[in-house]
Every structure is written in structure tokens, then in C-alpha cells.
Structure 1
């Protein structure tokens, strides 16, 4: 009986397996080769007759009533599938479309896996982990119309067989690791309508002129392809071209006049090259042109008079060039112009008087030119102007009254012009304005009380003008105000008590006015205030003791007033970088902390002040003589003891110095000093400072000492660990030597404000010293995660992120060859006295061209726990994308305030914890609660950039150059645009164009 049941069970299973048609069996075979952690394919049921109701499977109707429907399309994109390419799918005889986009397909793509696929017309394998060469067999697919292999790790050249596609219309290989040059044989694919090879590390080479033979071409995207030479004028014959992108290359020479013959073109992108010469006339003939960007080149000469006559022109970016002459009068006729950025040129003359009357302007940036005349009254006639940036020009006259009605304005920057008169009253109270910068003009009048309507105002900078009158009490309603700078004006009257309500206030600079009355009490809300400058006014009364309770105040200048009374002892609670109460009428004893040489210049011009020392402060009448004699006795005893101690210290120092000299090589003449900058010290001063008392840090590579030189300056000295150990094994010696050579080779030739400066190196036998600039604030990691982590407010953290990103961008994009740091982390980002960030510790850095040249190049695991990119688990290939991942972790540290690895995360690291918490609880639960909510939108944008940098797919991580631009976009409060990809807007890239506005 048991044997009979087994037989029936076997028969049932055999019948079930034969109930699914052959196409379903092919699909199940494909599924078996993939890991499906999300059970996305859970309804692929072998008991079904056909697979036509399965997830991602689409069928055509049956040809006859007795036949089965046939599978024509398989779309398994974004299903989190892992594994090799499922070759069984190509055995589906009627398969027309196959998409495995946005998964983790991680194999190579051998030619055999793509056969036969006789009907396949659309193949999309983008955003995966495919490696190896491009399969030559792709060109043998007879029906292929669209091939998208973008955002993978394909390497090597484009195979010659790609010239043989019989029907291909769309080819996208963007963001791979392809090398060699762009092959001319692609011109043989006469059916091509879209060609996208952007963001590949191709061998430097020219744009093939033969591409002009692709007369059906509509999309040509060759951004960031290492292109050199001139733009072939033949490309002007591409009459069907809609999108033309040669940005972020090294192209030189002029813009060919033939480009004005691209009759169908909508968008021309030529930014970030080395193009020179004039802008050719004739673009006005392009009836479809909407966007042109040739910024950051070396273009010269005037803008063509007819340039703005192109009927549909919306965006014009020619900033960062050498353009001269005046802006054409035809500008006022540009009826669709939305975005005009011409900053950092040498343009002169005035703007057309009716500019803006016809143009629905949103963004206008003409900063850093020589423009003059008045700001046109019609500049905001359409009421949509959001950004008006005219910094560093010679504009004069009054501001037009119409700006007071321009309610869409968010940023106004008019610094350093010749503007005068009163600011239109309505402009003070614009509801969306968050930055109003009028510094360096001749404005007069007062601050209008309607400023209370400016609910979003964060930065009010009106320094160096002639503003007068009192500060209106209505300013206390500006709940988001972070900076109020009005130095060097003629403001009068007291400080309104309502200013004490400004909980977000970080900077208050009212220096050199005629303000009077007493300093504010009741300022407990100023928890964010880091700078208070009220010098050169007429304030009277005492210094409020509440100032000593402000947690982040580090700049306090109350000098040159008429303040009276004593210095409150509570001020000793502050960690002050700048402190000045000179030239007042203060009296009494100095608090002990301030009675030192460090603060000697902080109290000048206060005759009534005295240090709490005998004979300096007035004593009470009773017992004065007794105390006086007692203090003289104590002084004599102290001086005798000090003399004995001084002799002892001198003797000890002499013995210790001799001992240390012998340890450091005895014969100083044998030390070799190699300098990389002009030095004001010798190696002997460095050697004298290598005491254990001067150790300020210790890491895997060695100890770091603070050396105070004879000229009073400080440097940091790294003594490499193990370098003086004669018994060290060869591997340790080699590691030390490699670290030293990497640091010297990297930092010795770098000159960048955000890379720590290597002054020199000193060597003697096996002892190696590296001498750097001293960074007084220490490392970001210590400040962020130590006891003072709460002192880093969001503006400071944001500044650190931008500085560090610019340093890494320099390494990746501006060094030749590019340099990969390989150990980016918060402890390797150092901060100067103004919290400016420098990237440091290049002991494992390597030039990109050196990585991968043999097994020894990656014999040391580079990176630190929590910062290492996930691809390191399955490949030792490290490139710029690894640095970008590590920097993304640093961004997450800045946003969350958490360590990259924490026991609270369990088996997760910071990246996984952030992603999981956002999915389960929302983004607010990952943001550091110590950060102020007024910056929440900005913080969220930076968080998104961090998550983009820490994408598990290396190809999805933006370049450091793009990271810098995205971070700068955050500060301008403008939405990021998705990057144009294959003529469409893609959600997983940010716009690579430099449209962040002037960074002034």
C-alpha cells in the first residue's frame, strides 16, 4: 500500500511539471539562478499552465484557439535580484523586450548567454554590477533596436562588432569603466538616433568627425569622456539633433559657427571645457533652442547682438568665461527667458531699461562683472523672480519700488555696488525671502517695521551702508533669523528687548554704529549665538552675566563703548576665540581666568580694572598694611622657590636634551630636510619639540606632536610608528616606508586650501618625520563624537562638508593623475581655528593610474571600519567611488551625530541603520536632535546627498565634482534638477551642469 502511495505521488508531480508550457520552464530555470531576497517572484508557480500572469511577464494573445499565448516581454527591473545574467531568458523564442534594470546582476556577459534571442528588440541591463568586456555578440542580434548597459562596470574598449548593428536606434553605455577612445566605426550604425557614452574614463582623444554621418541622430551625449581637441565643425550637419552634450571634457578651440545650423536642437551643453574665442552669431536662427550652457570655459569677446532673439530660449549660462562688452539690447525681447547666469565675466555697460517686461525671469545672476546703471524697474514684472544676484558690479541709483512687490524672491545679493537711497519698504517684508544681502553700498533710511512679515528671513546683511534710525522691535518676530550684520552704519537707539526672542540667532554684528542704552538681559534663547560684536557704539551700564551662559558663544567684542561695572565671573564659562572689552569704563578685579597673558589685549583702556594681585587692586581700609606685608613675604618665598625650580628644570632639560639628541641620531648634520614650501624654521627646532608632553594624537601610523617654534607659530609633527625600531621585521619597515612615501608623494605636490599643508619632511636613517600645518580644532571625529559634539551647529557642519568635498574633488578631478585617498573618515578631516576643514592623512593614498598594477598595489586593506565601500567584499578594485562612499558616511555622521559603527546598530553599520530607520520611522528619526529645526530642509537635502554617495552600486555614486555642486545647491535653497540621461530626466542622477549661481 505504501508503495502505491509513492507511485501516485510521483505520477502527480510528473503531471504537474508537464502542465507548465516550455516558456514557463525556461523562466523557472532563469529564476533558479537568481537570489530573490524580497520574494518578488513568489507567484512564479510551476503549477500554472502558462507564465503569463507571473510578475514581470507579459504575453501576446495565442495565434490560434488551440495554442498557448507567447511571452513577448520580461520586465524584472527594481526587484532586488542578485546573481549572474539568466541566460535561459534568451531561449524564449518570441521575447521582444527584456529589462533587468536596477538589480544586482553581477556576472560578466559572455557572448553565449545572448544567443539566440532572435526577436529581441529592447535590452535594458542598466544599473547592475555587470563586469568584463562588452559582448561582441550583441551586434548579431538581428532585431535589436535599443541597448541600455549604463551604470555597470563594463571595461575595455567598445568592440569593433558594434559597427555591425543592423537596426540599432539607441545605444547607452553611460557610466561604465570603458577605456580606449570613441571609435569612429560607430558612424557605420546609420540607424542610430541616440548615442550616450557619457561618464566613462576613456583614453583622451578627439570627438570623431565621422559621427556627423549619423544623419538620424537626435541625442548625442558625450559628457565627461576625456575628450580633447576641437569640436569638429562637421557636427553642425546633424540636422535632426535635439540634445547635444559635450560638457565636462578638455575640449579647446572655438565654438564652431556650424553649430548654429543645428536646426532641430533644443539643448546645447558645452560647459566645463577649455573652449576659447568668441561666441558665434547665428544662434538666433535656431527655432527650437531652449537651453544653452557654455559656462566655465575661456570664451571671450561680446555676446552676439542677436543672441537673445532665439524665440524659445529659456536658459542661458555663460558664467566663468572672459566675455567683454555690453549685454545686447535685444535681451529685453527674450520672451521665454527664465534663467540667465553671466557671472564672473568682464561685461560692462547697463541693462536694457525694459529688461524683464517680456521675460518671465526666475533666476538672474550677473555678479562679478563691470555692469553699471540702474537696476531695471521691470526686472520682476512677471512676479516670478526668485533670485537676484548682482554682487561686485557698479550698479547705481535707487532700488526700483517694484522689488518691494516681488513676493517670489528668495535670495537677493547686491553686495559691493554703488546703490543708494532707501530700500523699498515692501522689500524688507517679502514673505519667502531668506537671504537679503545689501553690504557695501550707500543705502540710507531705516529698517522698516514691515520686516516682521519676512517669516523666512535667515540672513540679513546690510553692513557698510548709511542706514540710520533704530532697530525696530518687530525684528523679534523673525523666528528663523540666523545672521543680522549691520556693522558700519548710523543706527541709533537701544537694542529692542524682542531680539532676545531670536532662538536661531547665530551672528549679531552691529559694530561701529551709534547704538546706546544697556546691553540686553533675558537672552536665554540665544543658544545658537556664536558671534556677538557690539564694538564702537555708545552702550552703557554693566555687562550682563547671562552672556556667560550662552553655550556656543566664541566671539565677543564689546570694546569702545561706555560700559561700567565689573567683568562678570560667568564669562569664564565661555570658550572664546576672540574677546575684547577694551576702551570702556570697567572697574574691579579681573576674574582669575582672564588675569593671564593670553587676555592681555582684551582689557586695554579700562583704568579701573586690575588683576587680582597684591598692590594692584585697591584694598579695604582695615588691615591693608598687614596684608601688604604678608603679601611681600609670600612674594619673597615664591621668588626663591621659583629660582630653585628654574635651576632644576634647566639642569633636567639639559640632560634630557642630550639624551634625546642621541636617540634622534646624535649628529644633527646627518638629518635630511626636504621642504615643499618656504620655511621659517629649521629641522633642529622640530627635533627639540618631540617630547611626550607634546603628543596630541596617536594612530596606526605613528604619534603626532605639537611643535611650537621660535617664531611663535605651531606645526604638527608626525613621527612614523616603527620607523626607529631597528628590530622591526621587513614587512613593518616596508609599511612605514610606503606610508611615508605615499604621504610625501601626495602632499608634497598638492596646493589646495582644503588639503592639509605638508611643510617638509625630515629623515635620518630609519627615523622619518612629517611636518604639517597645525590645525587647532583637531579632527572632525573628535569634535563630532566627543564631549563637545553639541557645539557643532548645522552651519558649521555644512561648511565642513563643503570644504572636505572640495578637497576630495581636487584630488579626484584636478590632480594629474587623479589621487584616491582610500581612508576618508571624520578623524582624517582636520579643522582650523575658523572650522575650515582640511583632508589629511594620505598614508595609503594612491594615484589612480597606480591602482591595480600588480598584486602589491592593493596588498594592504585600505580604509577604516564603517567607511569601507561594500564592493570591497568581492573585489579589491578601489577607485574614486570608494572615496565617495566613505565621504557619504562622513555626511551621515554630520547629519545624525552618530558613529559609523555603534553597538546600538547591532550587525548594521551607520548606512544600513539610516536606511532602515528612514524606511520604518521616517527621516526625522535619524537627524541629530542637537541640530536646530530651522535648518531641517537643508539638513534633509544634505542627507539625501549622503545616501546617494553611499549607494551600494558604485556607478550610482556621483563624482566628487557633482557632490560639491549638489552641496552648494543646498546653500542656495534651489531644488536640484535630475541629470539628463539619454535625452530624458533620470531620478537617480543629479544635474551635472554647474548652475549653482555665483559662489561669492
Structure 2
């Protein structure tokens, strides 16, 4: 019995030792694998500057490190999204992730909102074969997208948005056949969309918005039957919308706004898109009817087709129940007719800027859920004029309801003639008496105003912002009562830390009102610090910075440079802090040195037009949306700042002031105004008028067209003889009759096709209009903005009834590009200058321009004579092509 117990005990001991040895071997093997990956993670911790509290060295990464996931001892996911770097890591952050090479089972890497300045390494697409999710949104990445990313065959989600990526989209990404999310938005990518994307059959989200992509949309994208979210907005895509998009039956969001897409929408494009929730086509060049089937999509909650040329009538269909937050924006198109129940299904609607007639629908009465301005609706404020509405309907052979009044174009009702004579007598008597009273009142007003002006009284409008006029005494600054509300209040020590104690290496430039330095906030945000040194003779500088603070306390707009804060603690020095614009200003960005070699890289035309539109938006806001109108007074290339996407932010705001000269006064006040010089306001300040800004902006446009730097840097229109001589030689090449002339002055580095040449030609015409020596003849900035947004309207005259449209469009209450920018006239000296310049350069003038010099006209037959430089044949209906100035302009000319 004892032997049996001894034998059993021996067996148990042997089994125990065998099991223990096996467990130790397995543990050693696991430990060895984990140890190798642990070393890689420690290297990654060092290269990225991960804090010890997030990745403690003495603990197990798989068990306690934040954002680390493992499986069987191998790292499968790393998530450092939003992590804060160590202080040492913030000094030199880089895209340093070489340690990832050893993590062969890594399937997810998320570093969104974690600074990784630098390029994505090419090896990443060759060695991380198990990677499924790669997310580096908002990580400050730059450079090209490596073509090797196309080798990540397991990749299902790729997020590269909101970085500084450049170059083209690699065609190799078309090899990612398993990908479901592809987000490249918010970068500076150029070129076209790869047609191979049509092979990505698993793709559900495609976001390429906010880049500089051009060319047309590849029709192959219509093969993406699983696509749910498509966003191509804020690019420069052109061409027509592919009919193949009708196959996107799973699509819920189609965002194509802010492009150059043109043409009509086919009727059979939308019937199969029954899941569509958002349709955004705003600010393109679409024309024709909006298909009626769009209004019947049952799931549609956002419809934005504003800023196109859609026309036609709304369908007469009943409304469907939708959420109260649903929005329809069809503003600034050419829709007409009655407002039908089709639009009542939306909780908020914007139909402004069209030609709808009739009564205001019930759902839009007395509430804030509809915008109706600039239509032809009855009993509604801020509508278009009768003449404009009647002309629009007449051009289309339609009957206008004349705001519910009898239409003079229709025969009068029976029996109305009997009452007409007595009514005419009564009305004539009443209006005659009222007219006599008005005449007496005007005469009295003229005497009173003339007496006040002789006694030296000034009717100058108060200026709430801006420096003191030269030679005048300083006015009360009028600063906000609490400066702490105008941005952040920085300490002097913070200012020193931002700028490296104003190291000369950080000096950007020395301006008239202060010196500008590069700086960095503690969080890594790049800023510009303006240092204003004050002394007994620096009244202008003090007025400038106080006016600038006052300005930022009262207005805000995305086209103005972002103001971050100030430091006013030092008595002799003041500091203003702005967000730094990565692409500098226009004067430095128009031509840039290439990364390799000594050559220069020129901005393409699409970017130049985008910059012109952005600057015009900012100036239009100051001129027309501020009360009183504000004048920038320093419009030049160095004042036009550019962010990472070449969006414009206006700088140099220290000289902004309220407009002098009362150009927005009513007509009676203008009639009573005494004569003044062409540029001066009442105070004698030559540049305190919106017309001055327009002149300076014209020189900026010429810089964009010609590539000639320094034209706009001279603030005076005639102070620099070299600039004046250059303008005298250049302007004759800009003719509204001959497109080819402008090719003699276009920047040679621009590569443009025939369509783009028309846009360059149009911008040149706008520039010449801005440079009219008579301020009253210069176009308003809001008209300049519309012309730049639709440049082809400036040079292409519409067919069919165009003369009527041009006549009615010459009034200030409406806008027509051909009317506004055709209104500058060739004087005999202007026209004669062109052949002289051309002959010196050995260029033969084009026929239409040459003809305009040699013709003669009759003064007695209604034709404008040869003094205007245009032949009778080319000047038929001359007042329509070059309309006479409207009444306000004539009054300004007399003044």
C-alpha cells in the first residue's frame, strides 16, 4: 500500500514539473514578443513627446497605457488623439513615427488633433500591411500624399483632412478596394479627381471639399452605389454634373457648392435618389429649370441652390410634413411666378433675389421663417422696382401682375375711359400744388445751406473710427469703455515670450504705424504682434491703434484679419496681436520661390480670381454693410492677407475711417452740395471716400492680371511718375470690344485656356472701370463683387431683348455687368493712345478697336460722335452698351 502511495506521489510531482516547465516556456515566449513591442512604444513615446502620465514607463503598455489596445501581447491600436506633448516635445514637434515599423499587427493609428508637422513617411504604406484605420485629421501635416498609401490593401478608413497637404491626389488611392471612408478635405490639393475612384465599390463617404481641385467631375463616381456622403464643395470644379450620378441610390448628402459647375440639371438625375437628405449646389453656374422631382424627394431636409441662374416656376404641388428645422434656400436665381405650396414643406425658406410675383403665401406672413426681399411680391417691403420686374417678365413674353395694380400693357376694362378725364384733372391739380410747394421748399433750403457754408459751418459726418485727418487736431478717441472685451488682454511678459523678446529674426516689416513680429502662443498658434512705440510726436500712431481697437469692438467679419488681443500696460509701447496668415500677403504670395532650384512659382488664375473675390467681399462689407460706410484707405497687395487656403483676410486696418464726402446722402443733399475736387471729402482728406478704395482696388486687380508687383503699393493715384507711366501704357490694351488686346499685358507665367482668357479679360475691364479718373464714374464695390463672381457677364452680352435689360440695369437699384462695366467711355485721347502704343510695339490693333478710332458720327441723329471713339455700326443703341451715368452720377460730376 505504501509503494502505491509513493508511486502516485511520484506521478503527481512529475506532472507538476512538466506543467510548470511548459507554462514558463509559454510565458517567456509571450514576454519576449511583448518586450520587443514595448521597446518600440517607448521609442514612439520619446519621438512624439508623450507625457509620462499618459504612457508611464514602469507599467505594462497593454494594461495601463492610455490609448493602447493589444491582442495576445501585440499592439493592435494606438490612439493619441488630442494628447498634449511634453514641454520638450513642443519645442520641436515632428512627424516622427519610425517606431511603428515594428508593430506589425497594428490595425488602427489615430493622431487627430495631435501636432505632427512634416510629411507622411513613404515607408508607412509599405510596412504597416495590417493597418485598417489611419486618422491624422488637423495634425499640421504638409507635403504630398505618398503614393505608397495605395499599398495598404486592408485600409478601410483614411482621414487626412484639415492639414496643409499639397500636390495632386495620387491615383494609387484607387487601389484601396476595401476603403469605406476617404476624407481629404481642408487641404491645398490641386489637379483633378482620379477617375479610378469609381472602382472603390465599398466607399460610403467621400469628402474632397475645401481644396483647389479643378477640371470636371469624373462620371465614374456614379458607380459608387454604396456612397452615402459626397462632399466636393469649395473647389474649382467645372463642367456639367454627370448624369451617372442618378445611380447613387444610397446617397444622403450631395454637397457641390462653391464651384464652377455649369449647365442644366437633367430631369432624370434625381428620381432614383429617394434617400437624399441634403442637396447643396449653391454658388455655381447652373442654369435652366430646377427639376420638379427635387421638390418631391420625401427625405429632403436641406435644399440650397442659391447663387446660380436657375429659372422657371415652382411646381404646384401640395406640401409634405417635414421637420421644423428643414431649410430651402433658392435665393439669387431667376425664379418667377407665384410662390406655390411646394416650398411650404420646409420650416425656413429663403426666396430672396428672384422675381416671384403675386401675394405673399400664408405660411410666410408675419413670421421670421422666410426671407422675401428683392422679388416682385405684393404688399411686401424691399422688393424690386416696377420697371425691373416688368422688364424681366416682358423679356420672357410673360404677363406681370404689376403688384396688383392695373397693368399698362393690358387693355383697360370697359367703361374706364369715361372716368379718365375727370380723374386726370383732379390728379393734375393735386400734383401741381404739391410740386409748387416742393419747389418753394427747395429754394428755401438752397438759401439756408449756402448761407451756412459761407459762414464756415461744416456738415461733415462724425467719424467713429479712423485717424485724425492730416493737419487737424486730434479728436476724442471714442474707445470702448472696457478694453478687456476687445480680444484677450496679454501681459508684457507674454508678449516677450511670443516674439522671442523681439528678436530681429522674427521681424516681418516696419510699417508706418508700427513694427510687425512673428510670434507663437503657448498652445502653438502662430501669431503676428504689432508693436507701436509712442512718443510726443506719435499722435498718428496713437490714434491708429486706438481706432483699430474701436473698429474690432464694433464690427466682425470673416474677411477681416482675426484679432486676438492686446497689451496696453506699457505707457510708451502698445501691442496688438493678430492670427498669422500662413501664406503671408498678396505681394509675397503672387510669386514664390520653388522648393528646389531658383525658379519662381506663380499663383494660378483660379487662385487669383478667388483672391480678388475675397478682397472685394471684405471691402463691400465695409462700404455697404457698415453704417456709416467705412473706408479702408490702404488697399494694396500687402494689405491682402492669405490664410492656408488662400482665403482673403484684410489687414492694415489702422487707417479705417467713416466715409467723408457724404456719397451716400440723399439726392436733395447732393443737389445742394457745393463744388469739390474730384477726390476730396468735405474735410479735405483726399482718401476718405469709398471711391478712393475702388481706385486702389483697381490697381490690385491689374497686379493680378499682369503680375506686375508694386503697382498698388503707391497710395496716391498720381504721386509716382513710374506708376502713372505704366498705367498709361497698359490701360489702352483693355478694350471691351477686343479680347485679344489684353493678351499683350497678361502675366506670362499664367497658363490659361480660351474660357479663362474671357475671365482675365473681364477682370481687366473691371480694373479699368475702377481706375476711372472721375470718382463718380467708378463702380460701387458691391457691383465689383458681383462682376468678379460672374466675370463672363461682363464680356458676354445676353441675346434677346438685351437692350431693354441694359437700359433698366443702369439704375442703382439693379445690376447688370455689361451696363455697369461698359459705362467707362473712351475719350478721344484715350483711344488715340492705344494705336500709338501698339505701333511702337509692332502690334496691329484688332479690327474692332481700330475701327473705333477712325469713324465719324452724326451729332444730330441721335448717334454719339467720333469723340467717343466708336463707329455708328458698333455703337448701335450706344446708350445701352455704354449707358449714360445715372442721376446720382451726374450730380457727383457737377460736384
Give the TM-score range, shorter chain. 0.3 to 0.5
TM-score (norm 1): 0.40
Greater RCO, CA 8 A, separation 6+: 2
TM-score (norm 2): 0.44
Greater share of residues in helix: 2
